[in-house]
Amino acid sequence: MKVLVPVKRVVDYNVKIRVKSDQTGVDLANVKMSMNPFDEIAIEEAVRLKEAGKATEVVAVSIGVAQSTETIRTALAMGADRGILVKSDETVEPLNVAKILKGIVEAEKPDLVILGKQAIDDDSNQTGQMLAALLGWAQGTFASKIEFDGDKILLTREIDGGLQTLKLNMPTIVTADLRLNEPRYASLPNIMKAKKKPIDEKTPADYGVDVKARLEVLKVTEPPQRQAGIKVESVEQLVSKLKEAGVIG
């Protein structure tokens, strides 16, 4: 079984995000970038499938600027076998990402694609679903557990108030939720070995995709600053203040 895992280069989750003063986007100058944490979980799951003898090859793919190679290297250091970089200096929207991935899936013919459920930069949560639709494949989103039942996948999803288990036909699209696993640290020897693993370089045009944006970002703003509160002396005063604020009748 061959597993394809798309990984995205995003602002590191520890970085305090700053909005550009002209409100066109987030300031990325000298900001630490890392693999999207949900994609790390996806890679971890794929590598575990390989270690368990279920997967034969794990391919990591990243779509974005040249430095996305670093993100692929992290995936290779975690245990993926090879990488594909689809280079684009433009922002690639989820639908275009899904179209490029469709092209890669047709070329690579994986049995399983595991994606992070969403990227922490734009929180779109669309790519996996769109890819499944474009391919006409089954999809299991927000996976917290993946098991195999013959040639089918038993997938547990965390939903409001409980768990839902799906049986999916292969090939299939899975998107990883937070509790699917705890990703490993890329060990120092594996980081060194990852240097020797191959990374193919492609362009969106190789898959016949025009990455021109369909959406226009009007503005990006910081969340409003939280206003200072006040201290009240008594319950009566609290009630009257709440009435003043129109919170209670």
Least Å distance, CB 70 to another protein, is 6
Least Å distance, CB 9 to another protein, is 13
Of 128 and 183, which has the nearer Cβ to another protein? 183
Spatial distance between the Cα atoms of 87 and 65, rounded to a whole number of angstroms: 6
Q: Which two tokens stand for residue 53?
A: 């003898």
Question: Is 33:12 a contact under the CB 8 Å cutoff?
Answer: yes
∠ CA 179-185-187, nearest 5°, is: 155
Per CB under 8 A, residues contacting another protein are: 34, 69-70, 73-74, 77, 185-192, 195
Question: Is 44:184 a contact under the CB 8 Å cutoff?
Answer: yes
Of 124 and 190, which has the nearer Cβ to another protein? 190
Residue 42's Cβ-count burial label (10 Å; 0-12, 13-18, 19+) is: buried
Spatial distance between the Cα atoms of 35 and 23, rounded to a whole number of angstroms: 25
Least Å distance, CB 93 to another protein, is 28
Of 195 and 214, which has the nearer Cβ to another protein? 195
Of 66 and 213, which has the nearer Cβ to another protein? 66
Least Å distance, CB 188 to another protein, is 4
